[in-house]
Structure 1
């Protein structure tokens, strides 16, 4: 932290912990020292607390939640109390952003001058926490109960301008520091102030309002496990301030020690770690710059991919073989932007700017000057070969060639090109313009510069990128194929598809395996299985999924799959035809159905992900266990409050996981080859370690 700078008789304390002014132990120690210095200095009559024009403070240093230093004295609540009890008035000069613990510091000051375009937030809810340094008590007093509930439970940024008439905002300014110093001088001269902690929350209809909020969050607790605690803490703000602080403190530490918050904090850190690629040797001057993109294939996936680039101002050539297919892609893209305009998420002018960057084409010649060409054609190697051979002969020699394949061998695809070192996998998840995850697949010959360019591009289009090596299905689909296979075998053994879906959805998965298959299209899974029958004949499958397809039940797109879909009715409904089919297969195979409890279902499906994930780690396909978890929480609907399959296994303990896998492997008519614990799980369990010891957090 910088020394106190004097401006007349105002002492300016600069929060300085670049780039985000996170409130770590050192900053807390420095702030205590500077407040004491300012309060005892005869040259200072008032104090201004200032970060930068862009960032006042992002709040607590998340890394300290892992190291244990977050609770060390002086902790954040102590700083809030010191500011409130300062013998000299303190004015917060708040730049463009202020969040979490930083907002609590601002609330503790005697007055606040905000930059006119400032945004503030309490994002703790996304980490399974609640504000823990007075935020739940001060914000309702400052902005009112309704707005405080919205901000704390939503965790979203809020424009300070919308709060201009509340007690939170002393002034809005285009010159924050100068105006804060001027305001501090006024306070020093005796202008009256009422500290926020001394204000009362308006109680009119408060009981009715909070009861409604409480009932609402109770139904959403799986998605937001800390919401009930937040409501209870906010409710305490209706009474005595100090008693409310005690309620908040108790609830905060309960949430801090919860498995859900631990998982969410882990996920937060995992998402930052996945960008780090060990051993990547890149001369920044050699990293290709991508300013124009070509997309081959204008279907649902290709159109969605194109939208990603158009939306950030990158021109796109969209290529198809036939005009009708191309027109469908154009219509899809136009429809996307029309919907955004209708929802006021874009202006008509912004929509036109995006669409003007699109060049529809029926000729590879229009791809000659692209910096990156991505194929998004049918998942068939012969089709991929044709596309890549043509691209390799057409585009500039230093252009990057990317495949959106979700399962095929990228090393083989690279060999179709003159410069295999310039080939990389960019596996988008459907719908490509919405899903946050991007698997960046590094083939054996992919250059470091190309990989670096792909990761840089992922950030530009606002994706979360995870690097994968080459294998069948890469990280995500290789694991999900085993998850779906095990679910199918359970159905043949005695469970029903709806029992399995219900158990996993209740546990927290966004969608059970059979609803997932219906959404993706059951013919897609069948194509993968047919290839596996040939390439890996030893893999055990139930015949039921293929029989479902043979009945023409392809999923939502055909109106029937594992479920029946009724127009106008959300979700599918169980169908007796599927029950009869399952029973026929069991009788043909001499299977006597046995019951599966919810725990049986969850353990088999989730531990299938874990065991296959461990093999992926063993083979070096994934760089770290946390990367696998990012793939699953961002791409497959795995509950973030459980951290991901590998983190969940860590929490359970790998000794326990290993024992369960051995039980499954020894079951009569089981799948011993698959269920035998991976060597990595066995080794880590024996050593008393977790997956985090393998290139982990």
Structure 2
């Protein structure tokens, strides 16, 4: 053993400290070699009384080797199966040792790391709220393949295991203890090994503790097996419920459900083999490759600072200002204060500012009701928010985020009245979704300290912030903005200046294409349903109703008036005419404005506004479902490609993560640019030509696609 440190004490207890090459411990060839050698030694020990597995890393164990899985192609299923079975044989040998095995969890134990814990007889974790435990493989398009599905189902029962497996939940130590994922906690890392050894000493000679529950004669799965009516009903009904959620687009949840059902139907070792077969079918699929690429490699690239300038000093903010206590401003204040940052929340009146501050109380009341916060947490956050109508209270702020309405002159007025109160090297950020940062910065005395921070609503729930650099924005300002976004635990993407930047212009293209289809006579419900069928969280017309048709019109009119866009360059003239007609002639601005846009809302029920059908629906329109679905999907992809081609997007990773986290790209795509890779560049270009011939030039593939084809490259 080279990277497994093997230490045996006078009580016959062996502590194996995993310290593999690289930043984390992971299931790979090195692990298999080290674990095999460790087991060979343990199986030969004559006076062994117990084993403790712990880690020298900050994490306990990180999981499997995704680089290896990404390299797998169709036809490699048998190779994957054999590899997984080899890993499982090690875990099976571990749990069949004649002495108890303890997992001493000092850091995150996710995926394969927690599967190692499941193969242990006793699991102890440091009670640190930063530690996460779970089996999140479904979020990567995979299933837990080293026994995780089968063992967790046997440990806590099918009904308790399914939510953890199908949603890939990561839980903190106290919740893990409550749900039975671990057996005990200790207060500090210093106590961990001594607690594990004490448990082994207390149970020395007790052969029962060395046998896994599922290996004991007469074992019954908690909650029952397939012969219990309630379990049989769950197995029968769960596929229908899952299909409603995944719409048949995600293979991994279906494979997990089938594997868990097998775990309550066949014997333990047979269930393990079936789990391996299901696992082997997933890594070769485009969906798994897309999800691994986006949610592991590219997300890690972004969170690791891939888009941050090379500015060595990392800045920590202590005091910020937020101007505008409306929906966005109050959300920014709540998030920042909740993480210990002093916030000056300023509006035109004290009443408006106090109302914005009260939003934080509402956020915490919901958290308290769910057991995720305490009254003390709420009071602490509220104590950090100063509600005011006085610009001078912004004095000493290291950052001011302006979150007023999308009006250039209003934003200029706010800037000139408040910028002077920033600290000497403080930065100013506009929470704008569409207006160019370079023009917003024109009145600034320090345009190099001006940047865009585009938050998404609701701020306390949405994980993304789009950082926009103006022409004069300095690297130091960008680095500070990046640090702030990470300080408030959001994911930052960085883009260059333009009208609508990346997310807003891409999102708008989807809404305008949907409106165009309605103007062509296609039934609105069909448009919405087929939007959901490709994996959008909700239909595009419903989204437009929720975000407001009125705002879209006002933003466009503002852009035209400011000379940012030309009315005659509209690529969706009929769709935009429809939206304007709904708003200006029929006072249907969206749900927020009382009257819905496309829909009526009565007592929580939603139905198409009948007059919309009278004006536009044409039952003779002949268009296939596949064309509708591709129009809704491809228009987003094309707009994203244009942003990349025009230099608005700085990286493919920013495009993919931004599209998923910010504007609801279907997760099976891996993001709108990654979709082109898995669809095939030549095939994508050809399909764009077909759509362009039928529906307009807006569907032509951007030139960057042809360049990639000629170079034989993917979008990476």
| TM-score (norm. length: structure 1) | 0.89
Match of 2:168 in 1: 155
How far, CA to CA, are the matches of 1:63 and 1:610 in structure 2?
A: 26
Match of 1:362 in 2: 389
| 8 Å CA contact 1:559, 1:565 repeated in 2 | no
> After the TM superposition, which of the residue ranges 512-521 and 88-97 deviates more from structure 2?
88-97
Match of 2:150 in 1: 137
How far, CA to CA, are the matches of 1:95 and 1:35 in structure 2?
A: 22
Q: Alpha carbons of 1:209 and 1:284: their partners in 2 closer, same or farther (altered >3 Å)?
A: same
Where 2:659 maps in the other structure, the secondary structure is helix
Which of 605, 615, 631 is matched with 1:581 structurally?
Answer: 615
Give CA deviations for 1:158-214 in whole Å, capped at 9, x if unaligned. Answer: 566677799976665553312333444567756443234414333366343243255
Match of 1:563 in 2: 598
> After the TM superposition, which of the residue ranges 142-151 and 408-417 deviates more from structure 2?
142-151
Q: CA deviation at 1:602?
A: 1.4
> After the TM superposition, which of the residue ranges 11-20 and 643-652 deviates more from structure 2?
11-20
Residue 228, structure 1, aligned to residue 265, structure 2: no
> After the TM superposition, which of the residue ranges 518-527 and 52-61 deviates more from structure 2?
52-61
How far, CA to CA, are the matches of 2:467 and 2:302 in structure 1?
A: 11
Residue 33, structure 1, aligned to residue 37, structure 2: yes
How far, CA to CA, are the matches of 2:407 and 2:686 in structure 1?
A: 40
Match of 2:696 in 1: 671
Which sections of structure 2, spanning at least 5 residues, go unmatched?
73-78
Match of 2:76 in 1: none
Q: CA deviation at 1:70?
A: 7.8
Q: CA deviation at 1:372?
A: 0.4
Q: CA deviation at 1:363?
A: 1.3
Match of 1:14 in 2: 17
| 8 Å CA contact 1:263, 1:641 repeated in 2 | yes
Which of 112, 128, 136 is matched with 1:101 structurally?
Answer: 112
How far, CA to CA, are the matches of 2:178 and 2:343 in structure 1?
A: 46
User: Counterparts of 1:360-439 in structure 2 under 5 Å?
Assistant: 360-439=387-466
User: Counterparts of 1:284-303 in structure 2 under 5 Å?
Assistant: 284-285=312-313, 287-303=314-330
Q: CA deviation at 1:472?
A: 0.9
Q: CA deviation at 1:528?
A: 3.1
| 8 Å CA contact 2:600, 2:608 repeated in 1 | no
Give CA deviations for 1:460-502 in whole Å, capped at 9, x if unaligned. Answer: 2121111111111111111122222222332223323322111
Which of 274, 278, 300 is matched with 2:302 structurally?
Answer: 274
Give CA deviations for 1:632-652 in whole Å, capped at 9, x if unaligned. Answer: 211222221232222222221
How far, CA to CA, are the matches of 1:280 and 1:99 in structure 2?
A: 27
User: Counterparts of 1:621-636 in structure 2 under 5 Å?
Assistant: 621-636=648-663
User: Counterparts of 1:78-477 in structure 2 under 5 Å?
Assistant: 78-86=89-97, 90-95=101-106, 97-115=108-126, 120-158=133-171, 173=186, 175-184=191-200, 189=205, 191-192=207-208, 193-199=210-216, 200-202=219-221, 203=224, 206-221=228-243, 222-223=245-246, 225-238=251-264, 239-269=266-296, 270-275=298-303, 280-285=308-313, 287-477=314-504
User: Counterparts of 1:491-530 in structure 2 under 5 Å?
Assistant: 491-530=518-557
Which sections of structure 1, spanning at least 5 residues, go unmatched?
587-591
How far, CA to CA, are the matches of 2:475 and 2:700 in structure 1?
A: 36
Match of 2:570 in 1: 539
Q: CA deviation at 1:503?
A: 0.7
> After the TM superposition, which of the residue ranges 192-201 and 386-395 deviates more from structure 2?
192-201
Q: CA deviation at 1:148?
A: 2.9
Give CA deviations for 1:520-572 in whole Å, capped at 9, x if unaligned. Answer: 111111123334556222223111111111111001023434333333224x3
Q: Alpha carbons of 1:160 and 1:387: their partners in 2 closer, same or farther (altered >3 Å)?
A: closer
Q: Alpha carbons of 1:215 and 1:2: their partners in 2 closer, same or farther (altered >3 Å)?
A: same
| 8 Å CA contact 1:60, 1:70 repeated in 2 | no
Match of 1:3 in 2: 5
| 8 Å CA contact 1:290, 1:457 repeated in 2 | yes
Q: Alpha carbons of 1:554 and 1:112: their partners in 2 closer, same or farther (altered >3 Å)?
A: closer
How far, CA to CA, are the matches of 1:625 and 1:71 in structure 2?
A: 32
Q: Alpha carbons of 1:37 and 1:84: their partners in 2 closer, same or farther (altered >3 Å)?
A: same
How far, CA to CA, are the matches of 1:331 and 1:114 in structure 2?
A: 37
Match of 1:589 in 2: none
Q: Alpha carbons of 1:162 and 1:452: their partners in 2 closer, same or farther (altered >3 Å)?
A: closer
Where 2:440 maps in the other structure, the secondary structure is helix
Q: CA deviation at 1:401?
A: 0.4
How far, CA to CA, are the matches of 2:347 and 2:177 in structure 1?
A: 52
How far, CA to CA, are the matches of 1:89 and 1:342 in structure 2?
A: 40
How far, CA to CA, are the matches of 1:364 and 1:386 in structure 2?
A: 12
Q: CA deviation at 1:450?
A: 1.9
| 8 Å CA contact 1:288, 1:450 repeated in 2 | no
Q: Alpha carbons of 1:54 and 1:657: their partners in 2 closer, same or farther (altered >3 Å)?
A: closer
| 8 Å CA contact 1:84, 1:108 repeated in 2 | yes
Q: CA deviation at 1:380?
A: 1.0
Q: Alpha carbons of 1:332 and 1:113: their partners in 2 closer, same or farther (altered >3 Å)?
A: closer
| 8 Å CA contact 1:145, 1:201 repeated in 2 | no
| 8 Å CA contact 1:260, 1:641 repeated in 2 | yes
| 8 Å CA contact 1:201, 1:237 repeated in 2 | no
| 8 Å CA contact 1:119, 1:158 repeated in 2 | yes
Match of 2:61 in 1: 57
| 8 Å CA contact 1:408, 1:473 repeated in 2 | yes
> After the TM superposition, which of the residue ranges 70-79 and 301-310 deviates more from structure 2?
70-79
Q: CA RMSD in A?
A: 3.0
Q: CA deviation at 1:426?
A: 0.6
Match of 2:27 in 1: 23
Match of 2:677 in 1: 650
How far, CA to CA, are the matches of 1:475 and 1:85 in structure 2?
A: 55
Where 1:690 maps in the other structure, the secondary structure is coil
Give CA deviations for 1:590-638 in whole Å, capped at 9, x if unaligned. Answer: xx97322221111112111111211111122212223212112112222
| TM-score (norm. length: structure 2) | 0.87
Q: CA deviation at 1:366?
A: 0.7
Number of corresponding residues: 680
